[in-house]
Amino acid sequence: MLAERYLIYGLSDNYGIIRYVGKTKFSLEKRLKTHLKRLKGNDHRANWIRGLSKPPLIQLLAETNEEKTANILEILLIAFYKSFGCQLTNGTEGGTGGSAFKGKRHSIESRLKMSKRPWNYGKCLSEEIKRKMSESHKGHFISEITKDKISKILKGRKNTLEQSKKQSEAQKGKRRKPHSLETRQKMSKSGKGKHRWSKEARLRQSKLHKGKRLSKEHREKIGNAHRGMKYKLRRHDNSTTIP
C-alpha cells in the first residue's frame, strides 16, 4: 500500500505574490480546479480569486508523508509569509483542514486583544511588493453588477453625528494637493455637456431649501470665504472679470 502524500501549496497572483497557503492529498492541478469551482462563497479567498484578471498560480511549497507534519508545515508557512507582509486570504492559522472556528465565539480577552492592535501593526511592505500589488490592480475595473450590489448595501446608511465630527476633525488643517494642468483638462473634457444634477434632483433641492434663510453668521462665513476671488462672466465671446 502506497503511503499518502501531503502537499503544502501556495496560491499567488500573476506577479508571484503568495496570497493563500493550503495543503492537499491530491495533485496541484486538481486542487487548483477545486478552488476555481468554489467561488460562490463570500470568504476572503473566493473574493480575491474572483477579482483576478487571470486564474491564480499554484506552486508546491513543501511535501511530506505524515499528516501531523503537514499540519505543522502549513501553520509555519502561513506565519512565515505573514511575517513578510503578504496579505494572505487564509481564514485560519492553518493545520485544521477547514474552518476550525466555525460556530465558536472569541473570548472577551481575545476580543480586547484584537481591538487594541491588528496583526500587521508596524509591518511595512517593501517597495517591490507595493509595486507588484499596484501593477496587479492596473486595468482591473469593478463590474456594473458589483457596483449595483455596493450601492444597494450603502443606500439609506447615514453617519452618526459622532462619526461626522470625527471625519471633520480628521480633515481639518489638511491641504489637498492641487490637480495638475493635464488632470484639470481631462476633468473639464469629461464634464462637458453633462448635468451635475438631474431635473428631479434640482426640484427636490429647490423644495428642500424653499423659504429657508441663512443665518447672519453663515452669510458672513460665505462672504469671507469668497472675498478676494475673481469671477468671469462670459457675454457673447468677450470675457469680463469682476473683482
pLDDT of res. 21: 93
Residue with cell 452669510: 219
**What per-residue confidence (pLDDT) applies to 138?**
75
Q: Which residues have C-beta within 8 Å of that of residue 47, sequence separation ≥ 6?
A: 89
Q: Which element (helix H / strand E) includes 152?
A: helix 144-154
Q: Count Cβ atoms below 10 Å from residue 20 Cβ, excluding itself.
A: 22
Q: Is residue 15 part of a domain?
A: yes
CA–CA distances in Å: residue 160 to residues 151, 153, 206, 215: 19, 17, 25, 24
Q: How confident is the model at residue 237 (pLDDT cuts 50, 70, 90)?
A: very low
Confidence of residue 239 (pLDDT cuts 50, 70, 90): very low
CB of 61 closer than 8 Å to CB of 10: yes
Query: Does this model's pTM top 0.75?
Result: no
| Mean of pLDDT values over 190-200 | 75
The set of cell numbers assigned to 217 is 453668521
Q: Is the pLDDT of residue 214 over 60?
A: yes
The pLDDT value recorded for residue 1 is 47
At residue 119 the predicted structure's pLDDT band, cuts being 50, 70 and 90, is low
Who has greater pLDDT, 64 or 241? 64
Task: Tell whether 90 is covered by a domain.
Answer: yes
3-state secondary structure of 216: helix
**More confident: 142 or 168:** 168
Does 64 reside within a domain? yes
The residue-averaged pLDDT of 225-235 equals 63
The answer to the question of residue 1 being in a domain is: no
What span, in angstroms and rounded, lies between the C-alpha atoms of 99 and 115? 22
| Number of domains within the chain | 1
Q: What is the pLDDT of residues 4-57, one digit of tens each?
A: 789 999 999 878 889 999 999 999 999 999 998 888 777 888 889 888 888 899
Q: Which of 113, 71, 108, 115 is nearest to 92 (CA)?
A: 71
Domain presence at residue 84: yes
Q: Please state, in angstroms and rounded to a whole number, the distance separating the CA atoms of residues 9 and 175.
A: 47
Q: Judge whether 29 lies within some domain.
A: yes
Residue 37 belongs to what domain range?
Answer: 6-98+111-127
Rounded CA separation 113/121 (Å): 12
Cell of 105: 465565539
pLDDT of amino acid 121 = 67
Q: Which contiguous run of DSSP H or E holds residue 199?
A: helix 199-209
E strands within the chain? 6-12, 18-24, 57-64, 231-235, 238-242
Name every residue whose Cβ is closer than 8 Å to that of residue 66 and which is 6 or more positions away in sequence. Answer: 6
* Mean pLDDT lowest among 8-12, 65-69, 97-101, 179-183: 97-101
Q: Is residue 206 part of a domain?
A: no
Residue 85 resides in a domain: yes
Angle between helices 28-37 and 44-51 (to 10 degrees): 90
